[in-house]
């Protein structure tokens, strides 16, 4: 048994992915970083409110209303911070980004607004008496309440486990430079790259019909992700190999 729990996911394209769960250590460090950012933001907010009280302390009604507004803004900052970043960064906050971990859906898809909101709304309960930390430590899928409600898991990036050698055709090597000139491989998320890599690794074990269907579906998907024209006569496997090479070159630059 390894030091870290492993997770096996089945994507909608019937590609099986394996990940390493982030674990309590990385998640705790990411939480501390995010907590410090949120705390600094709240300190600025309440400092501004304290200065405002100097001018309105003789108006009880205005003091009450302003206090209610600041409380509401505090909650919005506490929850909205996680919703905002996990939505625009697709499962990452600044803390998670620094620790190279990411929340994803249980089907391998990126986290969206719905999942990010559910995770954030349950965070106060998870923080209460360290309930979330206990659930992560004791659970074999290392999920807190917010993860269970949103159907998400937190994984280490670049942690897919199968590492067989890939056979890349000369045609894909020739296509790669022009692909890099047309698009930005950073549009690919780690789970999307994992789906591509798993297909390229396992395609030789598929039947011809299944391989053709899956390669065509994946090619259309990656054309859309990379914002490329779909009317391309390049064979799907060649295109997918070139995408793989382009992403690897981008990560190594």
Q: Do 113 and 147 belong together in one domain? A: yes
Average pLDDT over residues 131-140: 89
| Burial class of 108 by CB neighbour count within 10 A (0 to 12, 13 to 18, 19+) | buried
Residue 4: pLDDT band (50, 70, 90) is low
Average pLDDT over residues 155-179: 75
Q: Do 90 and 183 belong together in one domain? A: no
**pLDDT tens per residue across span 77-105:** 999 999 999 999 989 999 999 999 999 98
Length of the chain in terms of residues written: 253
Higher pLDDT, 74 or 195: 74
Report yes or no: 227 and 187 within 8 Å, Cβ to Cβ: yes
> Is residue 87 in some structural domain?
yes
Higher pLDDT, 31 or 188: 31
The pTM (predicted TM-score) of the whole model is 0.66
- Dist. CA 240–CA 32, nearest whole Å: 39
> What pLDDT sits at residue 161?
46
- Dist. CA 85–CA 38, nearest whole Å: 12
Q: Do 121 and 149 belong together in one domain? A: yes
Q: Do 85 and 178 belong together in one domain? A: no
Report yes or no: 9 and 44 within 8 Å, Cβ to Cβ: no
160 sits in which H/E element: none
Q: Do 107 and 189 belong together in one domain? A: no
Residues 6+ apart with CB under 8 A from 181: none
Instruction: Find where tokens 């929340």 sit.
Output: 103
**H-type alpha helices, the chain:** 23-56, 60-88, 94-99, 113-121, 123-127, 131-138, 145-150, 170-182, 190-202, 208-225, 236-252
> Is residue 237 in some structural domain?
yes
Instruction: Find where tokens 């280490």 sit.
Output: 156
**pLDDT tens per residue across span 53-85:** 888 877 788 888 999 999 999 999 999 999 999
> What pLDDT sits at residue 8?
72
> Is residue 164 in some structural domain?
no
Domain that holds residue 132: 6-156
Average pLDDT over residues 189-197: 80
> Is residue 162 in some structural domain?
no
> Is residue 1 in some structural domain?
no
Domain end position, chosen among 156, 179, 211: 156
110, two tokens: 């990126």
Residues 6+ apart with CB under 8 A from 86: 92, 93, 103, 111, 115, 116, 119, 120
Domain end position, chosen among 97, 122, 156: 156
Share of the chain above pLDDT 70, in %: 90
Higher pLDDT, 224 or 164: 224
Average pLDDT over residues 201-209: 80
Q: Do 151 and 180 belong together in one domain? A: no
Report yes or no: 75 and 124 within 8 Å, Cβ to Cβ: no
Is pLDDT above 70 for 231? no
Q: Do 152 and 208 belong together in one domain? A: no
Look at the chain and report how many structural domains it folds into.
Answer: 2
Q: Do 239 and 179 belong together in one domain? A: yes
Domain end position, chosen among 122, 156, 190: 156
Residue 45: pLDDT band (50, 70, 90) is very high
Strands (DSSP E) found in 119-213: 152-156
Provide the mean pLDDT of the chain: 85
> Is residue 165 in some structural domain?
no
Question: How far is residue 52 from each of residues 61, 64, 71, measured CA to CA in Å?
Answer: 14, 12, 14
């Amino acid at each position: 048994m390894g030091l870290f729990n492993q997770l096996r996911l089945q994507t909608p394209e019937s590609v099986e992915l394996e990940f390493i769960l982030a674990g309590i250590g990385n998640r705790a460090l990411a939480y501390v970083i995010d907590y410090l950012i949120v705390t600094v933001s709240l300190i600025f907010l309440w400092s501004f409110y304290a200065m405002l009280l100097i001018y309105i302390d003789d108006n009880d009604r205005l003091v009450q209303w302003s206090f209610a507004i600041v409380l509401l803004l505090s909650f919005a900052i506490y929850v909205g911070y996680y919703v905002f970043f996990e939505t625009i960064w697709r499962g990452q906050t600044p803390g998670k980004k620094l620790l190279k971990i990411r929340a994803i859906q249980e089907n391998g898809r990126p986290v969206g607004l719905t999942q990010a909101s559910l995770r954030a709304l349950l965070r106060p309960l998870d923080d209460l008496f360290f309930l979330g930390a206990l659930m992560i430590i004791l659970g074999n899928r290392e999920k807190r309440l917010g993860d269970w409600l949103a159907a998400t898991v937190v994984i280490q990036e670049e942690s897919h486990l199968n590492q067989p050698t890939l056979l890349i055709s000369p045609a894909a090597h020739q296509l790669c430079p022009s692909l890099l000139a047309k698009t930005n491989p950073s549009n690919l998320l780690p789970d999307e790259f994992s789906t591509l890599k798993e297909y390229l690794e396992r395609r030789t074990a598929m039947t011809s019909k299944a391989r053709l269907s899956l390669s065509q579906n994946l090619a259309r998907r990656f054309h859309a992700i990379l914002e490329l024209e779909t009317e391309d006569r390049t064979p799907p496997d060649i295109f997918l190999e070139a995408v793989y090479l382009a992403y690897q070159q981008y990560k190594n630059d």
